[in-house]
Amino acid sequence: MDFELYSIVFIVTAGAIGLVMIGWIYFWLNRQDAGTDKMKEFAHYIQLGANAFLRREFITIVPFIVVLAIVLLLAMPEHNWQTALGFITGAAFSLLAIFIGMNAATRANVRTTNAARSSVGKALTIAFRGGSVMGLSIVTFNMFGILLLMWIFGININNPSGINMLAGFGFGASLSALFAQLGGGIYTKAADIGADLVGKVEEGVPEDDPRNAAVIADLVGDNVGDCAGRGADLFESGADNVITTMIVAASPIFFAKYGWTGVLFPLIARAIGILATIIGIFIVQGRDDRSPIHSVNLGFFTTAVTCLILFYITARWLMEDVGLFWAQVLGMVGAVAVVIVVQYYTGYHGKPVRETARYAQSGAAVGILQGFAYGLESTVWAKYILGIIILLSYFIGGGGIMGIYYIAAATMGIKEMKGIIMAGDTFGPIADNAAGISEMSGLGEKTRAAGDALDAVGNVTKALAKGYAMSAATMGSMVILFAYLFEVARLRGLELTSIDDFMVNLVNPPNVAGLFAGVAMPYLFSAQTLRAVNKGAHQVIEEVRRQFREIPNLLIGQATPDYARCVDLTTKNALQKMITPTIVSMIIPIIVGFTLGPWALAAYLIGVKASSAALSKAMFNTGGTLDNAKKLIEAGAFGGKGSKAHAAAVAGDTFGDPLKDTAGPSLHILVKLQNIMSITLLPLYIKYGLNLFQ
């Protein structure tokens, strides 16, 4: 009892500190100077566009949430109101967290620009703190949402059953994340491609030039896609991870070993993550006598060490099992190894980017093919590393069914860093926006140089975030799968003694069919999202062309384009096109669950997982390689800007962008949405399913 009280106090205190910090940073940001009137005007446009998008996105999502909540309320054979309430809470908290985070980002961008006029260091601090609001909101709201539901449902040490009721929270968070990532991802790339293809390629207008009608839409895209979309992704992956680890821990076999402590452990780990993240954020202090990347690295490093120390203490004296600490170290090592792989394949200094740039000299197709080949290859090493980490953490746990909790601990090792990683990731779009505002406001060479310095930092933090996201998604999806399986066992009344009591026998044809359907799913989903981007880009291209044609004196800079129309077009397309993939990705596992039963659905989920992990990595890294191959040429290699190789590399970047920023990230959410939804709806399949061919 004492233990429970202390734990809850620790968790709530950490969360409260997190909330205070969010408020403090937000007001600190607002106190910074936003620069000239022109800068403020452009920033205002961006903020208006981003908020308008988010508002309309929310309005589009709400009916889905409401209808689904009613369905859950009426159809669920057990815990119906809890599931429905959890579902709504998950969606609401997720939207709230990204709303706050994005709002901070759209305030930080122009203040970063202004600071960059005098000091790179100051600009770095502002941009990083701007990003850290998103990072902290996500982890904090996440944890409070779960605590709130536990309190309402009356789940505590005296009543440890019913953890599964929390699955609805994950389902709600996942659904809103899929919408946010899809909507934002389609938006950002449609605007980006559209702006680039007409501006840079057709009319010879440079990037971020105010004459281009799509330029504001492009900058809005950075916020609603890279910032809000990614934030929602990490919110749900955090929620899913905590909840599913708790479900695993609450199952009899682990409860017998770790008791209630094991169930609270993921929340304690999350609290540790919040504290370590706050320390890291304040360590990142830009100074003009130190390279910016150095400051950021110091922040990451401090957070990692703090996590390790606190985690060791918890594992040693609370859980009384140091093996869990080693599993966590393994998880961190694996994530770092994946980051190194990503860096090699997509970094300036690696062979892949250089070779891709070199082959671009033979034309767009050959260059794209080379980048695509490297992207495909990179997937292997990332997958092999994570496969080995899974095996080793399982082995540390002694193999057998008890090893599952160690895989969960390894995953926590990766997820604890989420807050600071997300802060670094949101730093990217803020720096992009800052550069855009600087360019549009004509602030000149010095500010541009500061922007380039920040951009270099952004590239590193993005690669880090990507490698981490890949690792977190792959490892986390294992834990979700186990939670699903434990739920099947619970509902079917299976007594678990060995891992072979879960019979997902891959030789059984219904399971094979499930696996096939799962492996194919990410292909369908990616196809739909890529086509949505293309359609939006096409509309933007037509509109920008029209404005250049119809608005007099636009090209010579003596008229203002109609930015709002491009923003509006892109918003409509993105919101419309995010619906079909979401519905399809919900319907297919429901069909599998109802017709082929829970084991075939498990095979389906494994198929989605394995295939998404491979395809999304290939897409991420293809995009990253092609992007940096273009930048390498722009830096002067193989003929530099304006050469034939450059034109080919620009085409390569255009091809790669939607892969890495729309389809790739959405796949991560797809996996988790399908999984947590299956956990939530499991009682339905068990009660009403047809169980054909079984």
Kindly identify the residues of this chain, within the stretch 403-442, that bind a second copy according to CB under 8 A.
Answer: 403, 407
Q: Using the minimum distance from each CB to a second copy, give the nearer residue, 152 or 584.
A: 584
Q: Per-residue x/- mask for a second copy, residues 384 to 403, rule CB under 8 A?
A: x-xxx-xx--xx---x---x
Angle at 364 between CA 361 and CA 368, to 5 degrees: 105
Which are the contacts of 441, defined by CB distance < 8 A and separation ≥ 6? 35, 36, 38, 39, 42, 113
Which of 52, 157, 369, 564 forms a contact with a second copy (CB under 8 A)? Answer: 369
- Helix (H/G/I), strand (E/B), else coil: 159: strand
Q: Per-residue x/- mask for a second copy, residues 502 to 531, rule CB under 8 A?
A: xxxxxxxxxxxx-xxx-xxx-xx-xxx-xx
The burial class, CB within 10 Å (0-12 / 13-18 / 19+), for 645 is: buried
Q: Using the minimum distance from each CB to a second copy, give the nearer residue, 128 or 359.
A: 359
Q: Rg (Cα) of the chain, in Å, rounded?
A: 24
Closest CA to 8 of 270, 308, 320: 270
- Is 456 in contact with 293 (CB distance < 8 Å)? yes
Which of 93, 265, 325, 374 forms a contact with a second copy (CB under 8 A)? Answer: 374
Cα 149 from Cα 10, distance rounded (Å) = 18
Window 574 to 603, contacts with a second copy (CB under 8 A): 602-603
Window of 114-122, 230-238, 249-257, 358-366 that interacts with a second copy by CB under 8 A: 358-366
Q: Using the minimum distance from each CB to a second copy, give the nearer residue, 285 or 694.
A: 694
Would you count residue 314 as binding a second copy (CB under 8 A)?
no
109: tokens are: 């961008």
Which are the contacts of 124, defined by CB distance < 8 A and separation ≥ 6? 284, 286, 292, 295, 296, 454, 457
Q: Using the minimum distance from each CB to a second copy, give the nearer residue, 73 or 376.
A: 376
Q: Per-residue x/- mask for a second copy, residues 533 to 552, rule CB under 8 A?
A: xx--xx--x-----------
Q: Using the minimum distance from each CB to a second copy, give the nearer residue, 443 or 480.
A: 480
161-177 as b/e: b if 16+ CB within 10 A: eebbbbbbbbbbbbbbb
- Least distance to a second copy, CB of residue 303, Å: 29
Q: Using the minimum distance from each CB to a second copy, give the nearer residue, 346 or 528.
A: 528
584: tokens are: 């399809």
- Site size for a second copy (CB under 8 A): 84
Which of 12, 148, 366, 494 forms a contact with a second copy (CB under 8 A)? Answer: 366
| DSSP state at residue 641 | T
- Secondary structure element (H or E) that encloses residue 406, with its range: helix 403-415
Q: Using the minimum distance from each CB to a second copy, give the nearer residue, 108 or 253.
A: 253
- Is 91 in contact with 65 (CB distance < 8 Å)? yes
412: tokens are: 């926590």
Cα 233 from Cα 606, distance rounded (Å) = 20
Q: Per-residue x/- mask for a second copy, residues 211 to 250, rule CB under 8 A?
A: ----------------------------------------
Q: Using the minimum distance from each CB to a second copy, give the nearer residue, 18 or 403.
A: 403
Q: Per-residue x/- mask for a second copy, residues 179 to 198, rule CB under 8 A?
A: --------------x---x-
- Least distance to a second copy, CB of residue 401, Å: 9
Window 443 to 482, contacts with a second copy (CB under 8 A): 478, 481-482
- Look at the block and give the residue holding tokens 């919900």: 586
Window 610 to 669, contacts with a second copy (CB under 8 A): 610-611, 613-614, 618, 651-655, 658
The CA-to-CA distance between both ends of the chain, in Å, stands at 46
Cα 684 from Cα 694, distance rounded (Å) = 17
- Least distance to a second copy, CB of residue 572, Å: 19
- Least distance to a second copy, CB of residue 608, Å: 11
- Is 401 in contact with 489 (CB distance < 8 Å)? no
Q: Using the minimum distance from each CB to a second copy, give the nearer residue, 323 or 658.
A: 658
- Least distance to a second copy, CB of residue 201, Å: 7
Which of 255, 363, 402, 590 forms a contact with a second copy (CB under 8 A)? Answer: 363
Closest CA to 125 of 451, 456, 427: 427
Q: Using the minimum distance from each CB to a second copy, give the nearer residue, 224 or 517.
A: 517
Window 79 to 98, contacts with a second copy (CB under 8 A): none
**Amino acid in position 564:** A
Q: Using the minimum distance from each CB to a second copy, give the nearer residue, 368 or 423.
A: 368
593: tokens are: 């669950």
Q: Using the minimum distance from each CB to a second copy, give the nearer residue, 48 or 512.
A: 512
Window 24 to 63, contacts with a second copy (CB under 8 A): none
Which of 179, 372, 405, 638 forms a contact with a second copy (CB under 8 A)? Answer: 372
**Separation in Å, CA 246 to CA 251, 265, 412:** 9, 8, 12
Which of 51, 285, 297, 362 forms a contact with a second copy (CB under 8 A)? Answer: 362
- Least distance to a second copy, CB of residue 583, Å: 15
- What are the backbone dihedrals phi and psi of residue 503, each rounded to the nearest 5 degrees, phi first? -100, 75
